[in-house]
Amino acid sequence: MVIDNGSIDNSVGMVKEKYSQVDIIELKKNYGFAGGYNRCLTQLKDNYSEFVLLLNNDTEVDSNILSSLIQAKDKYGDNNLYGGKIFYKNNPEKIWYAGGNVNLKYAKIYHRGIRQTDSEEYSKPLQTDYITGCCLFTSMEIINQLNGFDELFNMYGEDVDLCLRAKDVGFFSYYWPDAKLWHHVSASLGGAFSLKEINKKITSNWRLLKKHHNHY
């Protein structure tokens, strides 16, 4: 299923023409990451009863990604959140995500392994602080219980907030390295982010701190 967040580049027409088997949710405006997914997930409540894989449109996945993530939930349980090993598409020996670390005391949220060369260290499953929304596999039961994403977050932090809220009620996040994908990251390796992007990240980090500081 494709969620079209109010695009104006004929994405909907392209999908209908080339991928007629794919369902499309056409939103009239751009609701952002959280808002777009929430409107889709609300529609799925009555149609899909078990699991969802949220996936950015700028990713390419290993053909076995679904079977790998199903193995993860078979090992750790249906009602948790799962993510795979994500590489840079343009530098595929480098890791973009191999787990997520949260230290709200110092307002630090960052990807484990980012910009590191893949190694045995990043090839073992583990419980982690959060799953990136770039690729997040979970049950509809969790989505429904948490009422989806918090739309007060603006582009960054929605995924971290979801995982922290899940942990508060007994659902945990697991990194599963056998599920592999490649991300077309907009910023070059080691390159500076735009000031706008940095400001959004800082704002999201402080919102996370304000919302969750009593528990972390």
Which DSSP state fits 212? H
| Residue 4 counted as domain residue | no
pLDDT at 104: 82
**Between 208 and 92, whose confidence is greater?**
92
The per-residue pLDDT for range 68-98, each reduced to its tens digit, is 999 999 999 999 999 999 999 999 999 999 9
Distance CA 45, CA 194 (A): 37
Tokens of 65: 């990604």
For residues 187-198, average pLDDT? 54
What torsion do the CA atoms of 44, 49, 50, 53 make, to the nearest 10 degrees? -10
pLDDT, mean of residues 18-45: 93
| Rg of the chain taking only CA atoms, in angstroms | 17
- What's the confidence (pLDDT) of residue 187? 46
Residue 2, in any domain of the structure:
no
Count of structural domains within the chain: 1
Residue at 122 is within a domain: yes
Q: What is the pLDDT of residue 216?
A: 53
pLDDT band at 188 (very low <50, low <70, confident <90, very high): very low
Label residue 31 exposed, middle or buried (CB < 10 Å: 0-12, 13-18, 19+).
middle
Using CA atoms, how far residue 124 sits from 26, 75, 118, 177, 179, in Å, is: 39, 13, 12, 6, 11
How far is CA 2 from each of CA 16, 21, 27, 148, 205, rounded to the nearest angstrom?
10, 11, 11, 18, 29
Q: What is the CATH number of the domain that holds 68?
A: 3.90.550.60
41 found inside a domain: no
Q: What is the mean pLDDT of residues 142-159?
A: 91
192 pLDDT band, cuts 50/70/90, is very low
Q: Evaluate if residue 166 carries a pLDDT over 60.
A: yes
Q: What average pLDDT does the chain have?
A: 90
- Would you say residue 155 has pLDDT above 50? yes
150 falls within a domain: yes
208 in a structural domain: yes
Residue 26 domain-assigned (yes or no): no
39 domain-assigned: no
| Domain interval for residue 114 | 49-212
